[in-house]
Each structure stands twice: as C-alpha cells, then as structure tokens.
Chains A and B, each alone.
Chain A
Amino acid sequence: MVQASSNRPLSPHLQIWRWGPAMLVSILHRVTGNALAFAGLGLLLWWIGAIAAGESSYQVFIAYVWTGTASSLSVLTSILGKVALIGLTWAFFQHLATGLRHLVLDIGAGYELDANARWSTLTIVFSVCATALVWAYLLLSH
C-alpha cells in the first residue's frame, strides 16, 4: 500500500515495547480468535459434515482426530487432534475472557494501569482454570 513505497517513518513494532499483561492478552485475543476461526470452525464443519454423511464418515473423523485407529497416519494426526481440541478449548475461554475485557474497555472503564494489568492477568487465570475443569470432567466422566 502507500506506506510500503514512501519514506514516511513507520510506527515501532513489537520488539520496541516492554511486555506487560495488557499487551500479552491483546495479542492473545487476535491469535486465539484466528485459531478458532480457522482450526476451530474447520474442525466443527468436519465434525458436522461427518455426522451428516453417516456412520463410516464419523468413524474416520473420530479415528483421525482422537483414537488414531484408522491408519499409521491417523496415529500421528490423533496426537495433533488432542492437542488441537485442548488448545482450542483454552483458545475459546481466553478469547471469551479477553472479549469481555474489550466490552468493558468499550464503555470507557478499566483503563487505570493497576486495574488493567490485574484484569488482563485474570483472563489468563480464568482460561487456564476453565480449560482444566472442562477436560478433567470430560476425561474422568467418560
């Protein structure tokens, strides 16, 4: 675009700033949102499509994403599948918490340095705890 061909100064990027909780969760909001958009909705569509296509398609989905019983390739992808499902659970809770943070910031609240850092940190505490609880329940009850 215009910036690429002009000699106008560029604004400093990531490496110049001192890391803090607000900067971290702002970046995480974008990363988790895009992970959910591509990997999350991709997996959801595969899952729905497999259910709609019938039992044999559903078995293929389960084998490649979780059990790894279809082929030697599925052994590998089922490891990735477990990492993706647990990672996407965390991404969802993190994106939910930072999304709520954005709603609060939208009304003009929560910009005081202490409060901003505290609530930013708490979004990560929440997402890690919620992910642990969901998967503890899933693995212990099934």
Chain B
Amino acid sequence: MGNGTSIGRVRGLGSSHHGTHHWLATRLTGVGNLVLIPYLVISLMLLNSYDYASVHAWLAQPVPATAMVLILLNTVYHARLGVQVMLEDYVHGEGGRVATWLLINIVPAAATVFGVVCIVRIALGGA
C-alpha cells in the first residue's frame, strides 16, 4: 500500500497475474459438469426402482461412487465460483464482503467433505 501517489494507492489491490484463473476454472469445471451430470441423470433414469436397496446398491458400485465424488468436487466448486460472482454483484459494503468471503469458502468445503464421507460410507459398507 502506498504513500499517497496514485500508483501507490492501487498497488496490491488488483488481481495481478491471477486475473483469468476464476474465469478459466469456471469453464473447466463447466466442461466437467457436461460429462458428470448427464451421467448422473441418465443413470438415475435407468434405475428400475428408487427403493433404498436399489439406490444403495447402485451408488455402492465403484464407477457410480467415483462419479459422485467427482460431482462433489467439480460441481460444488463450479457452484461456488458462480455464487461468488452473483454475490459480488449484489452484496455491497465491507461487512457484506467479509460475510460473502466466509460463505463461499466455508460452506462449499463443508458440503464437499460431508458428501464424500457419505459416499465412502456407502461404497465401503457400513449403513
């Protein structure tokens, strides 16, 4: 931060060398979703029944369990990036910015870990 010159006042406040990361990560995870979510939708459509035994047996298999973990990593991150852009547009003020920063970092991390723990439990037995 600066000594009052115009360049000093803006130095360190920008996205230097990271300006395209958010944009590119949105596209990369979007392409991931293009494969993962249709896989989930079609798999669910092809299930014969939605009772507990059928759904549990399907999700316990290696490929569906892997796909679901990838969805939890990829799709939750994609959602986090998108929600961040939305909140940056509509939430103003210093307090709101801090609240946004906490929300978009803590909630997706907690959601992903919870989901992965659930899938591990389903895939490796337990319930």
In the complex, which residues of chain B have a beta carbon less than 8 angstroms from the beta carbon of A54?
A: 127
- A37–B55 alpha-carbon span in the complex (Å): 23
Greatest chain B CB density within 10 A among A52, A62, A100 is at A52
- A53–B33 alpha-carbon span in the complex (Å): 26
Please count how many residues in chain A sit with their CB below 8 Å of the partner chain's CB atoms: 33
- Scan residues 35-69 of chain B and give those whose CB is less than 8 A from a CB of chain A: 37, 41, 45, 48-50, 52, 55-56, 59, 68
> Is A142 an interface residue, CB under 8 A from the partner?
yes
B interface, size bucket: 35 or more
| Cβ-closest chain A residue relative to B118 | A52
- A62–B56 alpha-carbon span in the complex (Å): 14
- Scan residues 43-76 of chain A and give those whose CB is less than 8 A from a CB of chain B: 44-45, 48-49, 51-55, 58-59, 62
Number of A-B residue pairs at CB separation under 8 A:
81
Q: How far is the CB of B70 from chain A (nearest CB, A)?
A: 13
- A1–B48 alpha-carbon span in the complex (Å): 54
| Cβ-closest chain A residue relative to B116 | A48
- A30–B111 alpha-carbon span in the complex (Å): 21
8 closest A-B pairs by CB: A52-B118, A37-B79, A55-B52, A58-B52, A54-B127, A52-B121, A48-B118, A33-B82
User: Can you list 27 contacts pairing A with B, beta carbon distance less than 8 Å?
Assistant: A1-B97, A30-B86, A33-B86, A34-B83, A37-B79, A37-B82, A45-B114, A45-B115, A48-B68, A48-B115, A48-B122, A49-B114, A49-B115, A51-B52, A51-B127, A52-B119, A52-B127, A54-B127, A58-B52, A58-B55, A58-B56, A96-B34, A99-B34, A103-B27, A134-B41, A142-B48, A142-B50
Query: Which residues of A approach B to under 8 Å, CB–CB?
Result: 1, 3-4, 30, 33-34, 36-38, 41, 44-45, 48-49, 51-55, 58-59, 62, 89, 92, 96, 99-100, 103, 106, 134, 137-138, 142
